[in-house]
Each structure stands twice: as structure tokens, then as C-alpha cells.
Amino acid sequence: MKADWKIGAILRAACRSVRRNFVSCLAVCFVMVFIAGQYGGSTQFIASYDMQNVTNLRVDATTKREVVEAVKAQGLTPEEASDQFNINDVAAVKSWINTYDEYGENSLNAKELTFFHSGNESSNWAIIDNTVSLISGKQRPITAFVSEQTRRHDQQVSDSFDMITKEYSPHFQVLNAFLAFFTDMSGWDIVVTIATSLFSVLVAVFVADTLLLGERRFFLENRAYRRTAIGRMGFIFKERFFKPLKTIVLMHVLRGLWFFTVVGGIYKTYEYYMIPFILAENPNIGTKQAFALSKQMMKGSKFRTFLLNASFWLIELPIVVGAVLISLFIMGEDYKFISGIFAYLCLGVARIGFLNAFKTAADAELYIVLRRRAIADQIEYYEELNDCLLDPETLSEEHEHQTNIGPMDAYSIRALDRYPGSDQHGQTEYIGITKKQILIKHDYHRSYPLTSYVLMFFSFAMIGWMWEVVIHVIEDGELINRGSLHGPWLPIYGIGGTAAVICLRKLSDSPAAVFSLIVIFSGLFEYFTSWYFDTQKGLQYWNYNGYFMNVNGRICFEGLLVFGFLGMGCIYLFAPVIDDIAKKIPVKVKRGVCIALVTVIIADAIYSHFEPNKGKGITDYAATVFDCSDLLPEAVSDNTLSLY
């Protein structure tokens, strides 16, 4: 079947689709980046702090230059230089030497080596390298080969690999769990690795994949209805469509297996390209039918679809080149290492700011084109493409069509600004034409009783604690009690979420103002909380040094954005839901629970005031970063305690 569509026409239609509902499109893609982990590379400009790179943070630029110059002048080996200057990190010294040789002495600042690198043992690159190492019996053979062939640019290659394969991370985590049985890891480490891999897979299936289908649904509706709501992302959750998850998981598994042949993986990626859109249109379709439909729809269009994807690379190339040239022009040749940082920054902003939405909108336009052709040709299972309201341009004008607001003719449907159909589960969703008609399921303007505020505080505090514990298990493979208290709660989350509900509820009709105020006040609160524990208690529970746009390591751009969206979730969703649940609890029971929780946390706070939580991953982390004067030569110790 020959491709009869033009790339230019697809791109123009996609651009129009994004422009008419710009903010919502960006918000949907933002959720996919930061929650579902899609669009690999969009956040490459946001640093990820890596405990393996602590040495690069605690040693300042002057000391690094002294170490490298000593190696050059005295002929010291990295091992000898590490011992002589009390660095105690040979790998760090080697990286400084390589950076000095490649970019010059100005590149040896306190952050350049931690800015983009994923580099830990659970990264996709490391897992592949360990797999080949296990088979060949050689130590890190892929990294060694790439380092030799690219003249020590193996880190950039591994970072690019991790960026490209980010959405396939759960597949790599399964492989990592399998490898654990063939290593010298302890029994506990194997259990943690398997548990982490299982958790990664569950998140991928029940969070990332469901959001993926919701995103596809949003863009299908958005191309025809200009005020499509962001909430359409959650149609899988709302209507309990769990059937398509089996199909999407099977698609991931088969594609992952085909990638062992390399070429087969690329081919199958494009053969399965339309499966998410098919499932988004008809969640009740069978697995066999979905695969068969995608295969037939993509027949003759695979290569042109690849060219469609490549067209976005051509859009990104001038951004990268322009950023590099601008940075070189402004900073000069001596600071050429900055050009890479600036290029990643500009590319990341462009992707989050438009390109991610543009690409998915283009895929949605392509799906509609191939869908029309499939129906016209009456290919096998074409009757499963049964949501005609997704393409109102092709509706018959001779008779009326059933919608959830009554029978309507084609002209009236095309004039709507929101999808007027019913979901496949048999339940209709109220979709209004004007703002006043939109049904609000949870009233977020309501006033809350004191007991609801108490339950909100503990809910937010416990969820925050569980979130940070899980993240630490995933990143470091260790179960650590995060936070200043000893109980399973982080008061900073509870205070922040509850304060947002109390203080900003009256502004809830202005989401932009709410988001901005949450970002500002959460930043101030987090900064001064960090300052208090650091200066008054000598403890550091978080450190953002190396993160993009951080302030003294206490707050950072990424964290504030996350707090902004979490705060909005507290106001518009979680607070009403918690209050609804609380109303179902008998008053006496509810009061008893609140009194018990408050009593326990007060006792915990009093005890922690005298004996703060100093477990592994907290005080040893802080000491590694800050209390390091004894590790450095006396002559330079006064200059090495400043982190910026």
C-alpha cells in the first residue's frame, strides 16, 4: 500500500492543532515528561545529582587545577595525585585530567562533571555494558571500545544512549534484575534490585502506559475540538479501561525482543506505531485486532513516517548549532565547554516549550490520515475504528449523529469546542460547549473542617515520605528513612500542601496565579528550612548543587516546578477527595484518629529535636559534601568549602 500523504501537510496540520490549544498541549506533554518519563532528552538540561560525583562538588576549581598541573609537571599518576592531595578518588582525578586536556583549565569548575551524566550502575548504558561484560568475561568492554574510538567521549555516548532509550528503561531494569543472579551481589542487594525492577515495571504499566494512551486520546480530540480539556488524559483511569494495558505491555515486550536483532526492532517500532492511537480510540479492541490494524495501516508508510520523525531532527539541529555558536561568541574559545551546556539547555526548552507537543500532534494527524484510508479500503478489522466523532470532517451531512448532548447534525458537531461523544465503557461523560456547562465533580471552593485539614496534613506528609523513600531505593538501592523525624512522614510536604489549600483556595479560579504563588512560597519555605537544618543542626537532608538553576544547593528550578504542580493537585484534586472520604468516617472515630496522629507526631518532633534522624543517607551525605576540610591540603583548605 503506497503512502499517499505528504510530510509538509502533516506538519502544517499539527502546527495548527497545537496553536489553537497551546497551553493545554504543553501541559499534557509536561506531565508526560516529568511523570511518565516520555520524550527522552527533554530534561537532559536539568542536572541529576549523583552521589558517585560528590568529589567533583566538594573540590573547588583551584584545587582541581593544582592536582592536574601537578600531574603534568611532576609526572604523577592519577593514583599518586589522589593520595598526595588527599582526594581519595582516583576516578575523579582521571576525569579532571581528561577534561583539562579536552576543554582547558577553565572547564575545571565545581559542577561540570555532574551536570548531565547519568552514569550510575542502573543506567541503560551500564546495564547493556554489564550484560556484554558477563558474556565476554571482560571488564566494561563497550565503554572501553567507545572510549578508544571516540577519544574519551564515552560519557557523552552513554548519556546520549540513555537519553534515546529513556522510555524503554523498564525493559532494561528487567534485564538488570536477571543479571543480578549472575553477579557477586549479596542476597539483600539482589532482593532490592529485583524489587526495584518490579516497581519500575509496575509504574511503567499502570502510570506511564495509561498516561501514554491518555495523551494519544487528548491529541486525537484536540485536533478536532479546540478546547479539549487536559483531564482527557485520565480517561483510562476514570473509566477503568484496563483491557488495553495487556495490549500495550505485549507491544513493549515484543518490540524489546525484536531489538536484540537491531534492525528488527526498528522495523517493528514502525509496524506497531499506531497501536497506542488505536487503543486510545477504541479501548475495547482485542489485542490481535490492534496489532493487525496497525500493521496494515503502516504498510507502505513506515519509511515516510521515519522521514516525518527525522524532520524534527532537522528542526532541532539549527537550535543546537545556533546555541553553540552564540555561547562561543559570548564566552570565547576558552569557555567552549559551556557551549554544550547551553546547547542542551536551549534544546530542552524548545522541546518542552513546543516540539514535544508538535511531534505528538503530527503523529495524531498521521493516524487520522491512515485511519481514513483504512476505512475507505475496508481493510481487515476496519470496523473497530468506530469513534466517528474523532474525525467530524468525514461525518455524513445527510442525517444526525448521536452525542452525549443529544442528536446533532454534522455542522453542529464541527462547531463544538469539546468532544461530544461517549466513552467505550458505556458511561457518558458530560462535555459542555461553554464554560458554565462543564461539570465539576469535586467542588474545590468548599470550606474544610479542622479534622479534614489534619487528615490532609498527614496524607501529604506520608505520601511525600513514601515518594522520597521509593526514589532513594530506585537510585541507590537502599531503604532509608528520609526526613528529620523518625516516623513515616515528611512535615515539609504536609505543611506545604495544607498551607496551599488554606491560603490559596480563594484564588482557585485563577490557576496561573495559584501555580505562581505556590512556586514562590514553596521556594522560600524550602530554602529557609534547608538553611535552618544546615546552620542550626548541622544536617543536610537535600542538596541541589549541580542541578539546573539551583540557589546555594537549597532549591532548584526542577523542584519548584514539581512543587507547583503538586500544590495545584492538592488544591484541585486531593483536598476535595480527602474531605469526601473524611465525611464518610463517623465523627468520633475521625476525631480520635486525628488526636492520636497529632499526639504521635508531636512526641516524634520533641524526641527528634534532641535526637534528630541521622541515619545512613543523611548525615554521612552531608558530611561528604560539607565537612571535608580534613581531606584537603592545609594550604588550600580555606578555599575548598564553598559550594556554588
User: Which pLDDT band holds residue 116 (cuts at 50, 70, 90)?
Assistant: very low
Query: Does the pLDDT of residue 552 top 50, yes or no?
Result: yes
Q: Who has greater pLDDT, 524 or 545?
A: 524
SS3 assignment, position 409: coil
Q: Which alpha helices (DSSP H) does 351-449 contain, by range?
A: 356-377, 410-415
Specify whether the CB–CB gap between 36 and 30 falls below 8 A: no
Pick left, alpha or beta for residue 137 (phi over 0 → left; psi -120 to 50 → alpha; otherwise beta): left
Specify whether the CB–CB gap between 640 and 59 falls below 8 A: yes
Which three cell numbers, joined as nine digits, stand for 125?
A: 548504558
What pLDDT does 397 receive? 82
What pLDDT does 2 receive? 63
Which three cell numbers, joined as nine digits, stand for 578?
A: 480527602
* Mean pLDDT rounded to a whole number for the chain: 77
Specify whether the CB–CB gap between 45 and 39 falls below 8 A: no
Bridge partners for 573 per DSSP: none
Among residues 535, 459, 468, 545, the alpha carbon closest in space to that of 501 is found at 459
pLDDT in tens, 221-235: 999 998 888 878 877
Residues with Cβ within 8 Å of 70's Cβ and at least 6 positions away in sequence, in order, are: 76, 81, 84, 85
Specify whether the CB–CB gap between 287 and 244 falls below 8 A: no
What is the average per-residue pLDDT within 580-606?
92
What is the average per-residue pLDDT within 326-354?
75
Which three cell numbers, joined as nine digits, stand for 629?
A: 576540610
Return the top range by mean pLDDT from 400-404, 515-519, 608-612: 515-519
Taking the C-alpha atoms of residue 267 and residue 637, their distance in angstroms, rounded to an integer, is 57
What pLDDT does 294 receive? 96
pLDDT in tens, 607-617: 888 877 765 54
Specify whether the CB–CB gap between 388 and 394 falls below 8 A: yes
Which three cell numbers, joined as nine digits, stand for 617?
A: 543517607
List, as one string, the DSSP characters of 486-542: SSS--HHHHHHHHHHHHHHGGGTT-HHHHHHHHHHHHHHHHHHHHHHIIIII---S-
Q: Please tell me what DSSP assigns to residue 488.
A: S
What pLDDT does 259 receive? 82
User: Which pLDDT band holds residue 431 (cuts at 50, 70, 90)?
Assistant: very low
| pTM: predicted TM-score of the whole model, two decimal places | 0.65
Entry field: residues in the chain: 644
Taking the C-alpha atoms of residue 270 and residue 259, their distance in angstroms, rounded to an integer, is 12
The number of C-alpha atoms within 13 Å of 112 and in the hemisphere containing its C-beta is 24
Residues with Cβ within 8 Å of 74's Cβ and at least 6 positions away in sequence, in order, are: none
Residues with Cβ within 8 Å of 617's Cβ and at least 6 positions away in sequence, in order, are: 472, 476, 478, 480, 482
Q: Who has greater pLDDT, 203 or 504?
A: 504
List, as one string, the DSSP characters of 276-292: HHHHHH-TT--HHHHHH
SS3 assignment, position 261: helix
Taking the C-alpha atoms of residue 48 and residue 546, their distance in angstroms, rounded to an integer, is 7
Return the top range by mean pLDDT from 64-73, 86-95, 290-299, 492-501: 290-299
Start-to-end C-alpha separation, the chain: 59
**Of 175-179, 241-245, 598-602, minimum mean pLDDT range:** 175-179
Specify whether the CB–CB gap between 547 and 558 falls below 8 A: yes
Among residues 464, 495, 494, 468, the alpha carbon closest in space to that of 479 is found at 468
Which three cell numbers, joined as nine digits, stand for 306?
A: 521515519
CA distances (Å), 302 to each of 280, 379, 507, in order?
A: 21, 17, 49
List, as one string, the DSSP characters of 190-239: HHHHHHHHHHHHHHIIIIIIHHHHHHHHHHHHHTT-TT--GGGGGHHHHH
Return the top range by mean pLDDT from 191-200, 504-513, 597-606: 597-606
